[in-house]
Structure 1
Amino acid sequence: MKIKRLTILGFKSFLDRCNISFPDGISGIVGPNGCGKSNIVDAIRWCMGEQSPKQLRGRNMEDVIFSGSGGHKPLGMAEVTLTFENGDGSFPPSFSGQTELSVTRRLYRSGESEYLINNVPCRLKDIQEIFMDTGLGNKAYSIIGQGMIGSILEQRPEDTRIMLEEAAGITKYRKKVEASRRKMERTEQNLQRVEDIQGEVARQMRSLKRQAAKARRYNALTEEIRRLELVLNGNRYRLLEEESRKKIRNTEALEQREAQKAAAYSSVAAQIETLGLELEEKDRELSKAREAYEHLRSRVQAKESAIESQAVEMKLQEEITERLVQERRSIGRRLESLGEEKQGLGARIAEGRDKLRHMEREASVLDQRVRSRRKLLLQVKEEYEKARNAVNEGVNKEVGLNHESGYLNKLLHQITDTRSRLERERLAARQRAEKVLKAYENKGSARDLAAEKLHDLEERIAEVGSLCEEQESLRDRAAADLRAAEKELDVNESRYGSLKSLTKNFEGYEMGVRTVMKSNDLAPKQQGRVLGLVADIVRVEPRYEQAVEAVLADKLQYIIVESMDDGRAGIDYLKSKARGRGSFTPLRDLNREGNGAPPQGQRLLRELVTVPEKYESVLEALLGDTVVVDHLDEAVALWRRNGKERSIVTLEGDLLDRRGIITGGKVSRSSRGILARKRELKELKEQIETGRRKVARCRETLAELIGEIEEKKAELRDLDEEKWA
């Protein structure tokens, strides 16, 4: 196998496609410093599968892509093609019939790589197998760069052995042996799984046999039950037929009663309609009576006003009559006084006559006296005439007043009779009006009560309907919450069951660990001296899980036993079974480590891990004085200061041991460690308990809402029936 041609495009300093041919003999490439001679060797090494950027004199793999210079822009791809010719027939058997063989490698700035053999996409492993026993590998002796001869002379025996094996052409077979061993280990694991599955299937078959026997008995009992049910249903059918005939007869009787009731209902409806017409007629008569009542009330008021005026006139007449009676009495008293005065005057006249004779004798003396007496007599006569005229006038006036008083008394009697008759008519009309008004008011109040009740019923129906709609919306939301909670619970239970099954079967553990932990014939395990795994006792916060798993690694699968004798018995058991290897941690005979104090400002990893008190010696022995820091730069700085006495681990799981060896990287998100799996199992158990309580609450809430909705619907039906009753 000989290199015939090298094609380079976009690799390091090669911008354009460059073809370099290698004729027979020795080919040399000369040129000044920096012209790209070493880049040609790097291109050959890179095309043959080199994966280390340092071997290509770069920091990362993207440095091999042309990054631009001067007026040239950076390229997005680097490509190198090696063409070999089959001069001595050393091509692999799959390509032995071809005269040339081309190997191509491409790298994009996005990080994607492509490998091609004869322009056919392939794997890196395929390219490595082509050069595996030809001495042309990327790590073989065929490519010797600057300073590599001294490195070969000073290299370790292991590296020298690799080079010699490559030169001898046995590397390919060693790789195949390793691959075969891995396949054998996987096959042994699969066989163990098959044995477990066979045991489980055997148990299931026994269970299925018992179930089949039960199923046969069930089928026989089912047939017997079916026969008895047919007999029972036949008897029940005859009874139902008799009951159906009775129901038909009762139905016919009820239909007749219904027809009678319908006829009675029709007559009652007709009567109600007649009564309604009569009620309307009564309403019209009532309105007419009310109009007549108003007219009579106006007339009564007019009569009452006339009676009141006549009563005033009668009162005035009585006052006048009383005043005339008093005047008549005063005139009578005056007449009596005048009669007495007349008698006195008669006595005086007689006395005067006696005196006249006496005076005649004394006429001359008493003439003057007589004149005066005459004047006095004339005055008395005048007064007497006036009194007599006044008495005559009073008598005449008394007679007229007596006549007028008789007329007035007669008129008063007529008015009193009319008033009493009108009063009786008014009282009768008032009584009739009060009866009509009372009947109207009763009817109106009944109508108002019915309208108010109907309004209240409609408001209550609307209120209950809105409440029912709100309850139904709440029910829908509660049902949706219940479905979501049940779905989440199902997902968590499914995930919990899967993890529980994996934990129970110790999936992810080494074969020896599974063999010991699942064994039933190991004496220490039967006697309870196998206490479990290291992973079972470790409790750590999620942010420190990667750090703990990086430090412990396979130590998480260590089996904790009581003493070293128990561990030796476990190893003998694995040897006798030929079922893998295992590590045993003797609790009593364990040699502790890690009593030193951490650097100032740092924390020991074992301080962040919790284990039961009896297992603290295991924790100290496994974690030692390992210090935990935030990131790798801080770990490197701490190791350079004073970290050569202890290991340092970061929160992301990058480990820097006391020898200076750095272990790190990042696994895919889908792969989870043993501690993360156990933590997830615990969290899922808590979530399942919480989810079950939530589902129970949602079901109770939904049942309560359904009950309330049924109550509201029943209340709506009752209100609707009451409304149309």
Structure 2
Amino acid sequence: MRIEKVEAIGFKSFSDKVEIAFQPGITAVVGPNGCGKSNISDAISWVLGEQSAKHLRGKKMEDIIFNGTESRKPMSMAEVTLTVSNDNGNLGSVYKDFREIMITRRLYRSGESEYYINKTLCRLKDIHELFLDTGVGAKACSIIKQGEVSELLTSHAEQRRSLIEEAAGIEKYQLRKKETEKKLEHTKENLVKVDLIISEVKKQVNSLVRQARKAKVYNKFQKKISEFEIKIAALKLKSLEANYKPLEDGFVRLQDEKIGKSSKLMEFESKFEEIKLDIMKREEELRGLQDGFHQKDMEISGVRSRIELLGKEISHMDNIKSKASDDINILNFQMDEFKCELSEREIQKDKIRDALTGRKAELSEKEKNFECLKKDVSSKLDLIEAQKNKIVELIAEISTTRNVIQEGDIRVEDLNRRMKSEGEEKEKETFELEEIEKKISEINEEIGMVNENHSMVTGGINSLISKLEEKENRLSALEKEIREVADTLTLKKSEISSLKKILDNHEGFDRGVKAILKEIEVNGDEWRGVLGTLSDFIETTQGYEVAIEAVLKDKLQSVIVESQSEAIRALEYLKTSSEGRSSFLPLHPKQSASGGLHVAHEVSKNAQGVAGMAVDFIKYPEKFSNLVNYLLSDVIVVDSFEKAYELWKSNGNGFSYVSLSGDIIAHNGAVSGGATNVLDHGLLMKKREAKELEEEINVLAGKKEELDKICAELKEGILNDKTEKENLEKELREIQVRQVHLAKDLEVKADGRKRVNERIEQIAFEIDGIFYEREEIAKELKSYQERLALQEEAKRDVEGNLNKMQEELGVVQDRLEKERDKLTELKVGVARDEEEEKRIEFQIESLKSSLDDVANRISKENLDISDADKKIFESNELIKEMKVELEAKLKEGEDIRESLNLRKAEMESILYNHNSLEAEIRVIRKECEALNQELSGIDKQRTEISIEINNLNKALAEGYSKTADEAKNMVADGDDLNLIREELQKFKSRREKIGLVNLGAITEYEEQKKRFDFLEAQKKDLVDSAESLKKAISTINKTSKERFIETFNIINEKFREVFQLFFSGGDAELRLVDEANPLETGIEIVAQPPGKRLQNVSLLSGGEKALTFISLLFSVFLIKPSPFCLLDEVDAPLDEANLMRLNNFIKKLSDKTQFLVITHANRTMATADVLYGITMEEAGITKIVSVKLKEEESKEVHKQKVTLARPEKFKPAAALTA
């Protein structure tokens, strides 16, 4: 894999689209400061996914979009495309078949960002995964930007470990670990949610068990009711089908009569249509004859027009013949003139050719003499050029020697300045050492104060934690109680809703009662005297519902009317609508039982076990007092049936007695009672339950509101405590941060003290070195001055020889110029004669061409005459033929006119028959319409019965999933409809006694039970999943640790080798800060350049730091070569010797790694295979010029480094061409 090219538009200073193609090997980018060189490295980092605007040398990401100049507007988008080769298919299995892969990133000013792989929209994650474990990426060590060398070496130890991790290839394991940890956290959250849901579902399952049992009993009765309703529908179907048969027979008879009439009508209509078709056919024939007649008339006109046109054409041909004869006479005269002129030009041509032959012979002799003189001049020029070259070489050597002497003087002055500077630096370092000692003392005092504050704040936090735990426990218990109250409230609301629905819908009432109540609801104004059922107006005291309902029985659903007339009207309505039966009670009955009531009161007062009169346990409106007394004035409520029997025996037959369990002994001795289903609830009990439920709901709502208020106050207290705790924790963090900062400051000052001491020693060593180096330079300068004197003397000798040779050359050049003038004059004469010869030859050819042209024109005119004669003859013949044709067409037109008159007569006869048949058809249609009306009446009756049958079938299908045949099979021949209805009513009464039923409870119970089982299984899966994820994290940590340690040891060995190679000795190594925790520990770099002690890399000079990092970078490359490496002015701090070592190393690695180097160094430029020059011809707009260097050009660039200073503005094309 390698970079093929980078394309950018709108990115920083790349306003216009630029394309930079990268070749294998080393590519150097050069140019003056501020022209946009580093924008290339920024573009590559950005397209690979860099997210930090700071790393791209901006404040926010929008800063990378071209912001405009004085002459150009800002752009709205930045886009960079990086094309990489994929010949070996290393970039993932998805793209293994692609030879090249394009990665594109686009940013808009709105902040929207887009990523593409091969022009397909993708995520940033996809680009990271594409280059995973390849050594390529925005944060990879293969991209070293300007100033990052020092930053990476002086960064935290933890930040340096990315170099080793990248080489070890554990980045993908770290990515997998992060994803696995996220999954584990998500699994734990889901586990908590599932536990909460399981708790809620379990409560619902327990609540639904009782409701499901009750619903099953209800369904049993409902099934029996459905069977009776199906039988009733089947019997109705049989009755309707019996009534349908006679209607069907009558309909068939009329249908047959209608068919006969319709057949006759169709026969007449068929004949009528045949006549119409015949009429249409004849009309078509008439139109055809008329069209034929018109066509023939047009043909006759056409023949006459053509005869006239041919006459005109014959006249035109005569004119053509006359004109052609005149043209031939003129052309013959022109031909004679051309022949005379051609003869004259041939004679003139022969004369010029003879003169030209003599001139060419003289020119050849003169040219031979001129070439001899020219060779003599060339020989002398070669000798002079050799002397000039020798002078140039001597000048270059003198210039080089002078430059060396000048550089030596400059170096001596520089060493003197350095010696003075080092002395001043030593004094400065000594003063700094004293300041550091004072600062260390101050830091130790502040550490003591901060530690004391830390203890106080920690105590306050612990106290608040205890208070919070107590309040949160109280809150948890309170919230649990609120949930229980809310669940109970929801259940009670559901129960009262169902109960009110039953009461409002009068479920369990007879069909007739429901019909009356529905009619009152719809047309209330017409039924003002009908008040409602008895159960609607009375309420019972708690505990007496069973006794009162046992006494009243069916009277509870009797309809109360103000007068008998209302009752009679209601009965008539029920009979008319066939809606069933109903009982009616007058509001003011005629009989009264007030005397019996008084006696009953006396009995109830004096007897033990007597609860009281039945009317005493009922509440009702005042106007219903007569009715209630009428119904219950002789009824006494007792504790038990035994007591009832005892009182009946002792008091005679005047009263009825009812026990609290509902057993009755009537005044006449009739007894009723027995066991009651625990699920049965009568109307009065349901009303009482509804009232109690409303009271319970009000109490629960008030309790929940009070609990919510307490909960809110408790939460507010917890929030205040948490806020106070957070403030203390924030204060504690600030103290801890201050402790860390102070500890670090103390460590930094201690390191500074150590560094200053080492620096003082180093300065002393440097001063000794400077003194020795100054002495050596003085000796070299003396040697170079002696060499300069010898070189200048040699130059003067060569210049004397050159002057003598130039004088001899002048004499020979004068002779050469005279011969050149004569030769030129002779060549001009020859050229003039040759040009005249060509001109005459051209005239001859032109005359010959004119003669040929005239001959061709004469031939053409003769052909035109011949063609005209032929056309005149043909036209005369055509005119004869057309006259014959005209006579024939006139006869045919007369024949067509006679046929047209005959057809019109026949058409009139057929139209008469057509009108007669149409009158007969109208008569038959009226008869058919009368039959249709009679059929429609019968069909309406049939339809009504069919609708009833279909409604019954539909009701059976939708309500009971039965067909009509299946329903009929359920009915025996002797089944009576009234008996079935009575049985149906009995089962409905038993169903109503069950009371409030949640029919969905069975399904809900099964669903909730399934859900509960499913959630339990889900919980187990989540627990297993969490354990599996923990094992996966453990495995990833183990693999990462092994690979990291193995790679760290290999790179450490290689680092020592490369360091010694670059520094020509010394030693260096990488150290783990915490060897017990290799997955998170930082890495320290220690180095010992030759002649120095082993020390931390931060204490090295700028050049030593740069070279140390480069050693580490190439150590990684040697272990795991990166496909490419981008170095942005990394060589800036290096001297000539180290720069040469760096370039040689890059050259060796360039076989496997593609290098892009941004540089100012001439020696680095000479190493490159391709140079890109960066210019800014227009302010703010970067331009790019590329040159591919050959071996010789590379050497020339290297040679010029001695004499060329760094240019103020780089001009690549001119510089490299020179």
TM tier relative to shorter chain: 0.3 to 0.5
Q: If the length of structure 2 is used for normalisation, what is the TM-score?
A: 0.23
Q: Flag the structure with larger Rg.
A: 1
